[in-house]
Structure 1
Amino acid sequence: MDVKVPRGLSCQREKSSLLVGRQPSSGILCKFDMVGKCNRNPCRFLHSQPPTPTINPEISTDLPENRPRKHPPNFSSGKNVWISPDYNRPKISLASSTGNVESGNEISTLKTPPKVCQHWLSGNCVKGDSCRLIHSWFCGTGISMLAKLDGHKKAISGIALPVGSDKLYSGSRDGTVRLWDCHTGQCAGVINLGEEVGCLICEGPWIFIGMPNVVKAWNIESAVEFNLNEPVGQVYCMVVANEMLFAGAQDGGILVWKGSPGTENPFLLVGSLRGHSHDVTCLTVGRKLLYSGSMDNTIRVWELDTLQPVMTLDSHTDAPMSLLCWDQYLLSCSLDQTIKVWVATEGGNLEVTYTHNEEHGVLALCGFNDSDGQPVLLCACNDKTIHLYELPSFTERGRIFSKREVRAVQIGPDGLFFTDDGTGMLNVWKLLAKSNSVDEHH
């Protein structure tokens, strides 16, 4: 890898040509663009959510008649099984480095969903303080923006904060991985890869970077790297479990490497899981099972110990884009504008126990408990917003606005989380406990 240390953060973004010259003849969103692989210009499908003249006047947690239960499941006793309880990481002090901690609009209720001023987002609202729309990147209770890290020229596709490191890593569709100093917020290095990054994760000292036809494995302690060359097409998602690396690729396959320390190549290909007919969009693990979502609109379940298929879930009517294991529940979101909560029956099958409807397609899920122990779900939609929901009620706690669709969301320690804004800007946020946010405003 060619590592360059930049002189500053003065990189100028390239103007996206995504919609230039495109005259969509259909009102349908392009599913291939959702995962960044549409190569048609012009494309007859939409490459962004069309603007809506009004916003749904009320967010309701009432369940539609077709939901199998009258109450959502109880998440309050569970812990997020995908987050290590021991964060051996330095305190991140980006707020003091930027000197610009922004607080959100205090809105006591979100029953009437807020609407951000699109002209303000573009930097050209002429109404100023007289504008009736929101001039803020977010609104709600107990949310603070700590920093905006500028450098990537295209959307970020993966964010990682390795244990024991004082660097934050971000991979982008601009073909680079950037290293950010957790104390100063400055860019500490740029890795030029030459190909679009489809995803990026970390495990121990290893950074794994999914790219077309390859997964790059880089050890941040020894600086050694390996190319895992088996995938076919872009690698869109990865996960580590049982000392194995799983990578979902464009051809519908899931490649599996077993860690083999002490050998010349510490990664041994041990399997290829076949079953999906289209791109694998998301992976997660929980309770000795691997879950995979695909553009074929299905979720497949695999046994981790044997790598054998267990079942296929087909309740979504469009592509599932993100999967999340939380205690005994599996959460899935889809371009069909739903978030589904699955639970295992006595017979071992997974059934939908609750369905939450959104007004737009859902691109990413992430969740954690705040310092009060309240489970909070982050839900990125293709209307350029991120919703923060309290579970189990799905009461909206806040909303984050972006210039473009957000596909990268990552949880950090101590209530921190990181998001892309679709343009390459990496945002650092802090979620406060409800009790703390109330005390601050008294």
Structure 2
Amino acid sequence: MDSLKTFCEFPSIGESQDHLNWRRDPRLVRYLRGLEDRSLVQIADVLVNRICSSPTDKLACACITALLAHILFSTFGRARIRSQIFNPLQYHSTQLELADIYQIALDIISQPIQFLANFQPDPANWYRSLVRYSNYRFDRLLIDRIRSLPELSGFKRTNLGLLARTSPRRMKTALTHQGERDLRLEQLLLLHQCLVDTIGVDEFDTRNPQPVHYDNLSARYIEQCEGVDLAIDDRATLIQLVKYMGAVIRNYLQPQPDTLDRSIESNHAQSTVLIDLIPDLRECHHQLESQLLKQDVVELSNKLAIDSDRLLMFFYGLELTQVEVGVELDCDQSTAKRRRDRCLRQLATDLHCKTFRDEDLSVELLNSIIDRLKLIYEDLYAELLLAIFKLIVDDDVNSIKSSIADLFIERIERQWQFNFKPTQMGLTKATAFITLRSPQFSQVAISS
């Protein structure tokens, strides 16, 4: 059955960029039974004929998809994708990872009938012609799919190619954004329209323009600006303006990262630089600490549902771990963590509305409020537990020494409508809390 693995294994795409794991589909293994004694070329021929005669045969299509994956995702294939597709892509966008390119590639070959629609096999070497066709078609389909992404419309296109596909409205927006105005703007827009017209009648090659192509463009421009004072002096000036517009539209569609030491006024080197506009986070945090008062947290906490109040008490009062909270609440630790994080995010949002009414709630500010909340709750619940303990002591000083832990735990259970799990850490830490908070009873043997 190992001879059939090319037709029943698919690449598993993870974070690794240079290595793929292959997983076997048991359904395809069963589907291919009876073909073990045939060669790879013979099996591929059988399967291609099957999907041509019966396009609804999903298992045959899956086998061909696996074959195409082995052809395109071989060591050589991955190196080609990286060097010819992914590396040039990094000049256009840092948003896509190599794993994203692999995923797009798999999506392309997941419809093998469409992928092989124009395949004309070479009778002398059927399989080699399949490999050659697959690589050729795959490259072009992959590039077209990448170009369809909004942020990558210029991928593997020259500046002239971008100009040819740019609408007059977008060209005007890009030029205006660049600072062009009045007669100069009108001249450039007319030149752009003439370039589009010249390309439309096959008189201009955007990939490898020759002098004759610029002559054709110049003739078209002179014809269009007749009677209008928008003349361009010579061919060199025209070429310079065309290249300038190409760079403008490239930078507009794919802006280059700015430097923080650039002056915000282009004609004034001593003016404010961009880095001066970035707020001082230390000042923001200081404002946060001074404005986010404990009283505000107390007011919001009084409105908490008992489940959320109990959850925060476990984490920040008794300082239980996620695992220990999960044991007490009959849930796994990840659920306990999610519930805590969700509660803190909601509290942070409410505090923001109360304290920073006119300021947007950024991710950084939200995280800062949550960090501040955690510090406040560490004090808040400790103080609340201590107040409960002192109340018990004040109620019955004579009998407290022998039953302090029982009374304290009973009061906690009543306060938060909860029963500690026997012999679990919540019970142990509640007892330890008394010892830590009341030195006068630290030598007393406390039984729970």
- Fold agreement, TM-score > 0.5: no
- Name whichever structure is richer in helix by fraction: 2
- TM-score under structure 2 normalisation? 0.17
- Name whichever structure is richer in strand by fraction: 1
- TM-score under structure 1 normalisation? 0.17
